[in-house]
Structure 1
């Protein structure tokens, strides 16, 4: 494999080699004190990512009769994250623990980079698709289900996967043939265009900055529409509350009048020496219960009105804030440092850059728990699968 790799590789530029040799001192050597906790941490991260995304997919399959287009998008995001957690992260774990040495060969590196970059790009696209889907749901309202059909959703996903594949694919596979030389070092695995400033900046803008701005604009519009919608609902609920109060006031007055008339009749009958103690008690109890029930119903109606008006605002704001924050938090450090490295390779510590690379992948392990935290159906399925796993462990 080594001889075949050497024959396939084009000679390396001397400048790139010198710069990378100078940067070798920036790596933290994998001594035992660092190797063991790093290995344990990365394995735990991979297990959480793979397990969480598999549970998300199983939850989708289990509730397939109740799923909507939004759930279908989440299922595909789980598939994308599973690819990253089961392909990108394990192989890069080996690369990291071997002091950033790639033992799998030149062409396997190309294929791995293609899978990794395609899945990362598709993950970004799916976050945008999910946000746009929520905006359309609020904007179209009753027309949403008629216009955003399963066929539309499948078409959107096919197009997004094709775009994600050709976004970096040609550059990863054929860059060295297009420019006539290679910057890849022996036993290393990195994209050939890593030091091409113009290309890196352009792709970083398209890959991160543009999606981040789009995500902020889409979710900003969505928040505005949600708040305006809940305000209208709140006014409607106030009208309903006023009508409810009027209704209960009338019913209470009628019941009170009925109670008074009934009581008067009983008193008149009593004065006429008509003794009906049991009937009087039953009627009195019946009317008093009705009066109490009407008051309880009125109180419950008011409570429901308050909760119904406030719940959508809090829930939507929390979900959107988590979505935007997680994307910016996990992706921005890697993107910024990648742009800096394209200009100044010595300006960023290489071990720090590798940590930011792992931080980007970490989002794939966090996403399933965001679904479970915000969507009750997924949360219930997660709990069920965790209980089943616990029972299996206890049986063994």
Structure 2
């Protein structure tokens, strides 16, 4: 077993400068975008009590996960990518990196399942939703999701080479030891991607059916049948406004699921192929798919803004405050230099 990579960093063949610079700028921009968008989501939730709903708790949990992915996984792995796919941090930190990264990625998948389930429960229970889905219940669900995320991969990542007595990773690589075990890789891929995607698809189809029932009872368009009862008009204008919001939320979920599928499916299929035929997948293609998977963390905040005008307003206010604070700091610095 190789527990050290001393000397490997000196032997690494780096990309040419004309490749490293544009690639580094692009990765830095992607990481910054993911960190900024998810940080704004978290700050907006904390500062605005109107956003502190059970449903948004699940969204913020996803934002926290994506922020951690960008702060840790994407940042650390960018060094590996720019070093021509050579791992410079050694065996032990590789284990730490893989445990954290796999946990965060799986938690993001579970979060999407929970968000879809919560939206369906809201449509099913209606006014009783608040009684059944309290903050306490949401906290328990989130805690359980993190336990599940830790338990699926962590034992195998930490102990696979210890159990088998064989280290299949080269000193300059940072791969899970089960990467070439077809049965385990396929099983975890089914658990991590296939099953959640099927569940999410079913939940979103049920959400569509619930919304369709409402649009049949309260059509979104005006039928021209005026009522003599003001209360009836008010009521009709109100299950319509609710239906409009439900349709918008359903579209948000559909886009969330679509982004999840487009960014995760290629990577998942590729890992299965690699498990029985390493030479079948080009190294550059694999690295691109890794970053494609993580790009979801940068895309999700845009979906939050699309879905919620309150998130959008908070984003604008926070950015305006930051810009104003930076301007005031710059002005005060200039004045102090002039006066001195």
Matched-pair contact (CA < 8 Å) for 2:38–2:66: yes
Matched-pair contact (CA < 8 Å) for 2:27–2:78: yes
Q: Which moved more, 1:72-81 or 1:166-175?
A: 72-81
Picking from 225, 240, 265, the partner of 1:332 is 265
Q: Is residue 2:117 matched to residue 1:117?
A: no
Quote how far apart the aligned CAs of 1:29 are. 6.3
Deviation per residue, 1:199-231 (Å, 9 max, x gap) = 001111111011111110000001110111222
State how far apart, in whole Å, the 2-side matches of 1:370 and 1:205 are.
26
Q: Is residue 2:175 matched to residue 1:190?
A: yes
Matched-pair contact (CA < 8 Å) for 2:3–2:92: no
Picking from 18, 21, 29, the partner of 1:33 is 18
Matched-pair contact (CA < 8 Å) for 2:207–2:250: no
**TM-score when scaled to structure 2?**
0.87
Matched-pair contact (CA < 8 Å) for 1:230–1:312: no
State how far apart, in whole Å, the 2-side matches of 1:309 and 1:232 are.
12
Name 2:335's counterpart in structure 1. none
Q: Is residue 2:180 matched to residue 1:181?
A: no
Q: Is residue 2:309 matched to residue 1:351?
A: no
Q: Quick one: structure 1 residues 75 and 309, their matched pair in 2 at CA, closer, same or farther if it must change by over 3 Å? A: closer
Quote how far apart the aligned CAs of 1:308 are. 3.9
State how far apart, in whole Å, the 2-side matches of 1:101 and 1:163 are.
31
Q: Is residue 2:41 matched to residue 1:108?
A: no
State how far apart, in whole Å, the 1-side matches of 2:153 and 2:163 are.
14
Q: Is residue 2:66 matched to residue 1:81?
A: yes
Q: Quick one: structure 1 residues 386 and 209, their matched pair in 2 at CA, closer, same or farther if it must change by over 3 Å? A: same
5+ residue gaps in structure 1? 8-27, 249-299
Q: Is residue 2:131 matched to residue 1:146?
A: yes
Following superposition of structure 1 onto structure 2, how do residues 1-396 of structure 1 map, counting pairs within 5 Å?
A: 5=4, 30-64=15-49, 66-234=51-219, 242-244=225-227, 246=228, 308=241, 311-312=244-245, 314-395=247-328, 396=330
Deviation per residue, 1:10-66 (Å, 9 max, x gap) = xxxxxxxxxxxxxxxxxx962122111100000001111111111101000011365
Q: Quick one: structure 1 residues 225 and 123, their matched pair in 2 at CA, closer, same or farther if it must change by over 3 Å? A: same
* Aligned positions, number: 320
Matched-pair contact (CA < 8 Å) for 2:14–2:83: no
Quote how far apart the aligned CAs of 1:304 are. 5.7
Matched-pair contact (CA < 8 Å) for 1:102–1:188: yes
Residue aligned with 2:73, SS: helix
**TM-score when scaled to structure 1?**
0.75
Quote how far apart the aligned CAs of 1:394 are. 4.1
Residue aligned with 2:278, SS: coil
State how far apart, in whole Å, the 1-side matches of 2:78 and 2:220 are.
56
5+ residue gaps in structure 2? 7-12, 331-340
Matched-pair contact (CA < 8 Å) for 1:118–1:169: yes
Q: Quick one: structure 1 residues 235 and 59, their matched pair in 2 at CA, closer, same or farther if it must change by over 3 Å? A: closer
State how far apart, in whole Å, the 2-side matches of 1:41 and 1:62 are.
31
Q: Which moved more, 1:386-395 or 1:146-155?
A: 386-395
Matched-pair contact (CA < 8 Å) for 1:223–1:317: yes
State how far apart, in whole Å, the 1-side matches of 2:106 and 2:281 are.
24
Deviation per residue, 1:168-193 (Å, 9 max, x gap) = 00000000011121112112211100
State how far apart, in whole Å, the 2-side matches of 1:173 and 1:70 are.
34
Quote how far apart the aligned CAs of 1:236 are. 12
State how far apart, in whole Å, the 2-side matches of 1:201 and 1:5 are.
30
